[in-house]
Amino acid sequence: MLSSRFVESANGVLSNGKEGSQTEGKMATWTGLFLLIFISTGHGQEDPCLNNMCEPPSTCARSGNSSLCLCTGRAAGDFCEDTLFALETEVERFNAPSGTLLSPNFPDLTPDMLRFVYQIVQVPGAVSINFTINFFCLELMKDYLYYGPGNSPSLDVFPNEEGVPFLSGCENDTDIPSELVFEGDSVWFRLDTDLNIASPGYNITYLIEPSPPVITCPEPVFVESLDNNVGNTAVWLSPVCTSNGEPDNVTLQVECQPNSGSFFPGSTENTTSTVTCTCTNDRGRNDACDFDVTVIALPVNAAPVIICPPTVIEVSQPGNTGNTASWPLPTCGDAEQDPSTLQVTCTPPSGSLFPVGINTAMCICEDNEGASDTCDVTVIISTAANSDPVIMCPPDVTVVSLPGNAGNSASWPLPSCTDIDQDSSTLQVMCTPPSGSVFPVGSNTVTCECSDDQGAVDTCDIIVNVSPSANSNPVITCPGEVTVPTLPGNIGNAAFWTLPSCTDVDQDPTTLQVMCDPPSGDQFPIGRNVVTCTCEDDQAASVSCFVIVNVSRGTGDSVCDGNPCFPNECRPVERNGQTRYNCHGFVGSRCTIDD
């Protein structure tokens, strides 16, 4: 009995030598040379190949007590007496991550109808290809399965010994290794058959082992610490992860430790932490990269903050020799120093001559401790022949004021801008005031500008309407009742009280209008008098309360006390040395006679 196994050798081909009936392992690398060894077990028996009928140049091979004709070239048939045609060939290619290689007639016993069958497996990005032999049965020493590396074997119908013999004959489960591994991303098989003996053929499945992904980390991240150097959060763009040639159906997952948005501690010195990011595919292969996050410590002295004016755009003088450009001095503030004492300079200064193109003037603000901040003024000198860009503003924005009608912030998307002479992504778009600014109650105009690299500009306006918030009524509180005695003669008296208190959630109380009718200090007659006090805000919302003024009658100390006159009509008079009362306009003891 002849048995076989796959063995590994140094010359990179696969052998099919078999030793006894023992099966060693299930995995082998395709390196080795196919060897078919005949072992004579006869004892003086006649060689069955003597006087064989094989048609030259075919040869005879002994198989047990019988012989087989080994056909070469175009020969076919039991005795290699038939000639095959050159067109009987087929090429089948596989590029999926997994698949199945079948002989043309598998699993039927119908003879193969093709002389040569090429099956080529090529999956870019594969590290290796794992083959599992599910079934194999070909005519022994007549039909062969060859293999070779690469994806472009010779497709001649009769190749010149190209490839390495793989298997021949019918193998059982104990003789065939169930799995084979081929290193690389491509391999080809060629089935040679002489068409004369039926066999089921073969069933071989494969699965690729993909390459690991490749991850690229972002650049190092620098963030300034919060107050007291406690640290700060840091964010970054997600690392770029590519499949490195893997099939399209491979999914990738990227994770960073710590993740973007984490808090990084700080100290009095700059503090650097390492972030490790890993990209893993759905087959468990991964790649990793690192980058640093540095928390910049705050200086002892707070640096000033400089804000440069918007881009300055001028058209070149004739001949495109450039032009002068001027701009207002940048504004500069410092939490620890009077802004008027800060030093602000620009290089080159405002009013300098600039060439055609985009120029930059660097402006610096420095405090008396040497701390500084810089910003750039962009100066664009455009040529006259350049086409203007076209800017389109978003719709107008409407927001409601904060309580007290102090205004509110408003935001909008950046206007779109196009230019037939320039890539839209390189156009400069800015709005003044910028999005997110605070606007007062009413209609406000925002001017947005788009400029190209030749200095041509286009503008559009966004109307920001800040509607007033719902006005709240003020709240008034009057003092208690006021009681005063009448003056002699029961003529009444003046009454005084404190001004009512008034508050309003939308307005400073000192700006509210408070009035009483009649006012404090006015003259009131005897009896119960009602004073109406009103509080009104600057939105004309008002509220009222009442002050009760009681003027009491006299107790008899005056000649007019208890008089029968109409109210306020009694007048003391001197007659014959005596003081008497007189009702104004009347005489008589009881003022009943018309005067």
Confidence band (pLDDT; 50, 70, 90) for 151? confident
Confidence band (pLDDT; 50, 70, 90) for 230? confident
Phi, psi (rounded to 5 degrees) for 178 = -70, -25
Of the listed ranges 367-371, 392-396, 584-588, the least confidently predicted one is: 584-588
Structure tokens at 121: 């497996």
Amino acid at position 316, single letter: S
Per-residue model confidence as pLDDT tens digits over 392-401: 999 999 999 8
Structure tokens at 397: 């924005």
Q: Say how far apart CA 547 and CA 501 lie, in whole Å.
A: 13
pLDDT of residue 133: 85
pLDDT of residue 421: 72
* pLDDT at residue 171 is higher than 60: yes
Q: What class does CATH assign to 84-210? A: mainly beta
- Quick one: what percent of the chain has pLDDT higher than 70? 75
* pLDDT at residue 569 is higher than 90: no
Structure tokens at 357: 């193109």
Per-residue model confidence as pLDDT tens digits over 174-183: 566 667 788 8
Which residue spans within 326-439 are E strands per DSSP? 331-333, 343-347, 353-354, 357-366, 372-382, 390-392, 397-400, 408-409, 416-418, 428-432, 438-439
Confidence band (pLDDT; 50, 70, 90) for 147? confident
Confidence band (pLDDT; 50, 70, 90) for 370? confident
**Averaged pLDDT of the chain:** 79
Q: Look at the block and give the residue holding tokens 């079934």.
A: 135
What is the mean predicted confidence (pLDDT) over 130-148?
80
Confidence band (pLDDT; 50, 70, 90) for 572? low
pLDDT of residue 40: 29
Confidence band (pLDDT; 50, 70, 90) for 5? very low
Confidence band (pLDDT; 50, 70, 90) for 12? very low
* pLDDT at residue 214 is higher than 80: yes
Residue of higher predicted confidence among 257 and 298: 257
Per-residue model confidence as pLDDT tens digits over 58-74: 788 777 777 778 776 66
Question: In terms of DSSP bridges, do strands 263-265 and 252-257 run parallel, antiparallel, or are they unpaired?
Answer: unpaired
Q: How far is CA 147 from CA 39, 62, 141, in A?
A: 26, 25, 16
Q: Determine how many CB atoms are found less than 10 A away from the CB of residue 291.
A: 17
Of the listed ranges 70-74, 110-114, 245-249, 298-302, the least confidently predicted one is: 245-249
Dihedral sign (CA 561, 565, 570, 575) = negative
Q: Are 594 and 586 in contact (CB under 8 A)?
A: yes
Residue of higher predicted confidence among 50 and 345: 345
Q: Are 233 and 139 in contact (CB under 8 A)?
A: no
Per-residue model confidence as pLDDT tens digits over 549-560: 999 886 554 555
Task: List the beta bridge partners of residue 186.
Answer: 122
| Model confidence, pTM | 0.32
- Quick one: what percent of the chain has pLDDT higher than 90? 38
- 84-210 against 390-467: fold identical: no
Question: Which residues have C-beta within 8 Å of that of residue 132, sequence separation ≥ 6?
Answer: 178, 179, 180, 204, 205, 206, 207
Dihedral sign (CA 255, 261, 265, 269) = positive
pLDDT of residue 345: 95
Which H, E and C letters describe 147-172, residue by residue? EEECCCCCCCCCCCCCCEEEECCECC
Confidence band (pLDDT; 50, 70, 90) for 590? very low
Q: Domain residue spans in the chain?
A: 84-210, 214-296, 305-382, 390-467, 475-552
pLDDT of residue 343: 94
Question: Which residues have C-beta within 8 Å of that of residue 519, sequence separation ≥ 6?
Answer: none
Q: Say how far apart CA 435 and CA 439 lie, in whole Å.
A: 11
* pLDDT at residue 419 is higher than 90: no
pLDDT of residue 182: 82
Residue of higher predicted confidence among 590 and 399: 399
Residue of higher predicted confidence among 49 and 279: 279
Q: Are 353 and 324 in contact (CB under 8 A)?
A: yes
Q: What class does CATH assign to 305-382? A: mainly beta
pLDDT of residue 233: 95
Amino acid at position 296, single letter: I
* pLDDT at residue 85 is higher than 60: no
Confidence band (pLDDT; 50, 70, 90) for 196? low
Per-residue model confidence as pLDDT tens digits over 305-359: 999 999 999 988 866 778 999 999 999 999 888 999 999 999 999 999 999 999 9
Residue of higher predicted confidence among 358 and 87: 358
Residue of higher predicted confidence among 372 and 149: 372
| The CATH fold of domain 475-552 | Immunoglobulin-like (2.60.40)
Q: How far is CA 219 from CA 222, 252, 533, in A?
A: 10, 21, 71
Q: What class does CATH assign to 390-467? A: mainly beta
DSSP annotation of 300:
S
Q: Say how far apart CA 116 and CA 195 lie, in whole Å.
A: 10
Per-residue model confidence as pLDDT tens digits over 448-460: 999 988 888 999 9
Which residue spans within 219-322 are E strands per DSSP? 221-224, 231-233, 240-242, 252-257, 263-265, 271-281, 286-296, 305-307, 312-315
pLDDT of residue 24: 29
pLDDT of residue 37: 25
Query: Is it true that domain 214-296 has CATH number 3.90.75?
Result: no
Structure tokens at 270: 């700059």
Q: Determine how many CB atoms are found less than 10 A away from the CB of residue 126.
A: 24
